[in-house]
């Protein structure tokens, strides 16, 4: 098992910048998920680690060995492709045995190992079939079996669950996680599904436009999104961001109201001080009474709806636009300054057109500066 390090890795396809100065460390045995919107370069990053592409700039290390330039087979990795890439002319057993066959294992050894993994993944009954005769979930298992059969040191998966239905995806999610725990293989898993990312990963690397935005454990990613972009990417529905003007230690949100910035700052102070970032500057920024625009972020689940203005605290005023009952909760879309704000509530007390007041705890508020960086 190895640790993977990407050092300032960039990949260009002609004029397209697929990856730009990616720095990433995957520790030994870790389950790292690369999460990002479509086209942000996740697959490219994975293929660089696999050796299917060579970086235009930068270096890739497995432990202390520099591996860029080495062929995929010299890296002892296994990869599961999005459409599984099973060999259509071979049976399931031949597919799984193929990596062993080309590496010169004897037929007996091969059969034994194939038997082991097929029983581990519960596909013993399918071994004589061709991939074309299998269901999506079974193909997925065969691809996994082929990947783990020769005990690779790195396990790479490119959106392996995206072709499955919701129930099967749920099942495979826990199975994959269990498998990874058992085998303790360093795993990089690419997805654009944040639920998958949050539930399976040890850490999540959020990518956008070819570069890494934040690498953090799922809970931290949710609790402290480093930039406004990450904040809006994580969570469903995404975090509400209000544009406002800083004035005398508070944020003016126009007609909707004013939020006392010092309250937000105070609540965050403890976190700011303990975090690694150099936040002296941001504290100064908040305390000073220079003018400027900032964004105030609050998650839908942290907003409370009231029909009458509450006596104190931070209040944002708006009008109910639509109400969407989701079963588990009710999503209320409130129009604030022509912007739609999502709030998750548990009872249905408001209806379209009602004037409502949104309140929140200062603990749950985030402030981002004009660059989109978290300041409090």
Partner 1 sequence: MAEDDPLEPTGIDAGSGRATDHDQYLSVDDVPDIAPTAELSWRTRIIESIPAKRRALKYVVAITIAVLWIVPFIGLFMASIRPLSEIIGGWWHLEGMTVTFENYYRAWNYSTAPMGQALLNTFIVTIPAVLVVMLLGVMAAYPFARFEFPLKTTLFFLILLVMAAPPELIAMGNFNALREFGLFDTYMGLILIHIGWGLGWVVLFLRNYLLGIPEELEEAARIDGASRYQIFRTIILPLSTPALVSVAVIQFTWVWNAFFFPLVFMRSPELYLAPQVLPLMRGRVQVEWGLIAAGSIMTMAVPVLLFLFLERYYKRGMVAAVAD
Ligand X SMILES: Nc1ncnc2c1ncn2[C@@H]1O[C@H](COP(=O)(O)OP(=O)(O)OP(=O)(O)O)[C@@H](O)[C@H]1O
Q: Which residues are at the interface with ligand X (CB under 6 A)?
A: 13, 16, 18, 36, 38-44, 192
Q: Which of 1, 3, 17, 50 binds partner 1 (CB under 8 A)?
A: 50
- CA dihedral 87→88→91→95, nearest 10 degrees, is 10
**Interacting span for partner 1 (CB under 8 A) from 202-210, 267-275, 307-315, 345-353:** 345-353
Site residues for Mg ion, 11-50, by CB under 5 A, read: 43
169 binds, among ligand X, partner 1, Mg ion, none (CB under 5 to 8 A by kind): none
Q: What per-residue string of b and e applies to 280-294 under the rule 16 or more CB within 10 Å gives b?
A: eebbebbeeeeeeeb
Q: What per-residue string of b and e applies to 17-29 under the rule 16 or more CB within 10 Å gives b?
A: bbbbebebebeeb
Among positive and negative, which fits the CA dihedral 109, 112, 117, 123? positive
39 binds, among Mg ion, ligand X, partner 1, none (CB under 5 to 8 A by kind): ligand X
CA separation for the pair 28, 47 (Å, rounded)? 19
Q: Could you say whether residue 79 binds partner 1 (CB under 8 A)?
A: yes
**Closer to ligand X at the Cβ: 10 or 187?**
10
DSSP H or E stretch at residue 49:
helix 42-50
Quote the crossing angle between the two packed helices 166-183 and 136-148, to the nearest 10°.
10
**Interacting span for partner 1 (CB under 8 A) from 67-75, 170-178, 200-208, 276-284:** 67-75
Tokens representing residue 180 in the block? 């990874």
In terms of residues, how long is the chain? 376
Q: Could you say whether residue 323 binds partner 1 (CB under 8 A)?
A: yes
Q: Could you say whether residue 346 binds partner 1 (CB under 8 A)?
A: no
168 binds, among Mg ion, ligand X, partner 1, none (CB under 5 to 8 A by kind): none
Q: Which of 69, 102, 266, 289 binds partner 1 (CB under 8 A)?
A: 102
Contact (Cβ atoms closer than 8 angstroms) between residue 376 and residue 272: yes
Round the CA-based radius of gyration of the chain to a whole number and report it: 25
**Closer to ligand X at the Cβ: 76 or 208?**
208
Q: Which of 103, 122, 319, 355 binds partner 1 (CB under 8 A)?
A: 103
192 binds, among Mg ion, ligand X, partner 1, none (CB under 5 to 8 A by kind): ligand X
């Amino acid at each position: 098992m190895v640790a993977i390090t990407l050092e300032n890795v960039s990949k260009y396809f002609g004029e397209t910048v697929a990856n730009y100065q990616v720095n990433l460390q995957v520790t030994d045995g870790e389950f790292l998920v690369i999460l990002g919107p479509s086209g942000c370069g996740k697959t490219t990053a994975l293929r660089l680690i696999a050796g299917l592409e060579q970086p235009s700039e930068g270096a890739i290390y497995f432990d202390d060995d520099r591996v860029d330039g080495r062929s995929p087979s010299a890296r002892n990795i296994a990869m599961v492709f999005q459409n599984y890439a099973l060999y259509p002319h071979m049976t399931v057993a031949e597919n799984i045995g193929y990596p062993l066959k080309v590496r010169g294992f004897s037929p007996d050894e091969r059969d034994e190992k194939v038997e082991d993994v097929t029983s581990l993944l519960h596909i013993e009954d399918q071994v004589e079939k061709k991939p074309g005769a299998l269901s999506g979930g079974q193909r997925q298992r065969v691809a996994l079996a082929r990947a783990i059969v020769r005990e690779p040191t790195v396990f790479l998966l490119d959106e392996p669950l995206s072709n499955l239905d919701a129930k099967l995806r749920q099942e495979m999610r826990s199975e994959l996680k269990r498998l990874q725990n058992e085998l303790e293989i360093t795993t990089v898993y690419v997805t654009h599904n944040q639920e998958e990312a949050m539930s399976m990963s040890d850490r999540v690397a959020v990518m956008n436009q070819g570069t890494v935005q934040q690498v953090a454990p799922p809970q931290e990613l949710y609790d402290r999104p480093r930039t406004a972009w990450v904040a809006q990417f994580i969570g469903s529905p995404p975090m509400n961001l209000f544009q406002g003007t800083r004035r005398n230690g508070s944020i003016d949100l126009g007609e909707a109201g004013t939020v006392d910035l010092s309250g937000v700052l105070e609540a965050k102070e403890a976190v700011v001080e303990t975090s690694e970032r150099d936040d002296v500057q941001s504290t100064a920024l908040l305390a000073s009474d220079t003018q400027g625009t900032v964004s105030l972020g609050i998650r839908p689940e942290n907003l409370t709806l009231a029909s009458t203005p509450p006596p104190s605290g931070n209040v944002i005023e708006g009008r109910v636009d639509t109400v969407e009952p989701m079963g588990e909760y009710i999503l209320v879309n409130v129009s604030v300054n022509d912007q739609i704000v999502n709030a998750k509530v548990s009872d249905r007390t408001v209806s379209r057109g009602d004037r409502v007041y949104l309140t929140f705890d200062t603990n749950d508020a985030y402030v981002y500066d004009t660059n989109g960086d978290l300041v409090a």
